[in-house]
Structure 1
Amino acid sequence: MYEQFTKPILDYSIALVMFLLLSPVILLVSILLAISHRGNPFFLQERPGKDGKIFQIIKFKTMRDLTDVNGKQLSDYERLTLMGKIVRKTSLDEIPQLLNVLKGEMSLVGPRPLLPEYWTLYSEEQRRRHDVKPGITGWAQINGRNALSWEEKFRYDLEYVDKISPRMDAKIVLVTLEKVVKRHGVNANNYMTMEAFKGNVA
């Protein structure tokens, strides 16, 4: 009942209030990133949502589209701009996803939406993470975020799917706010983002 009725209503109501309150910040960051990147301040990318349905996630763009002489994309470290680094450290890059929540594509809390190419690499059990809407933050994010291994991340995602409740969502939101303030778990070791999922080891 909570997941089907109460949670969507809470998601929409809270996301709307947050979007209105943060609109000056969103406008300011958009302008600064547009100047820094000399172009579109937003990053759009396809992600699988609930039941694997594809949607376009929206985030603030923190990297330039730079490639080497062979046309291969440079590393995150090389493409990350100074303004982008600030936006990431403060987790401001996630704020535009409030629009995804308002459109009903995401929830405030749920497993993070990953790349479409990972879909065929999941085990049947891991694919259950798509039984619920993806979230801006989630159980895995407050228990290690990018410092977790993929196995640990999926284990936390499935634990959330199995135990989803108002109390659990409230706890995740509160701990997320604390971690954002303390800037915990932004990077995984030397990677600017988590290393790509390459499938399960037999």
Structure 2
Amino acid sequence: MQAIKYIEGVAAVIENNNIDTDQIIPAEHLKITNKNGLGEHLFSNWRYNPENQENKNFVLNKQETRNSKILIAGDNFGCGSSREHAPWALLDFGIQVIISSSIADIFRNNSIKNGLLPIVIDKSSHEFLLQQNAKIIVVNIEKQQIEVEGKTIDFELEPFVRYCFLNGMDQLDFILSQQNKITEYEQQQKRYA
């Protein structure tokens, strides 16, 4: 993982509530065990028509939002199954941040472990952000703030999650960074055995 203090980019808005992991990455694409290339199948049932041509009306196919780094989604994003392919597909597509008024717990945990930042904000701020399609948004992880159109929105991150993103490490990297303390503890325990 790479250290991230802030992410600036164009926002894409999908207002739908209850977007589940099968909508994010349909089941027929789960045979892939490599993360690379999954972005091509992100929201494939919405992005492509039955003839496998791009749906020009879908937000991530539009010129102004095709390269979005920030996805603002309706309530209860990432519900459904626990497939880790969902955050993999979002990241491979280029999405680095998901913002919603609520994010399903398993999806949220899978996202954090893979370097996709899930942000939950209050309802009124969420309503405002749902109106910001194709606008430049800055997500400042250090300050825990979202900036758009002259407005600042505060959000909360668990201290450990914030630490990991700011220092470019996942949970395993953190454990490995504590190797000296772990070794010291194990040696102390041997003395008492």
TM-score (norm: length of structure 1): 0.26
Between Structure 1 and Structure 2, the one with more helix by share is 1
TM-score (norm: length of structure 2): 0.27
Greater gyration radius: 2
Larger RCO (CA within 8 A; separation ≥ 6): 2
Between Structure 1 and Structure 2, the one with more strand by share is 2
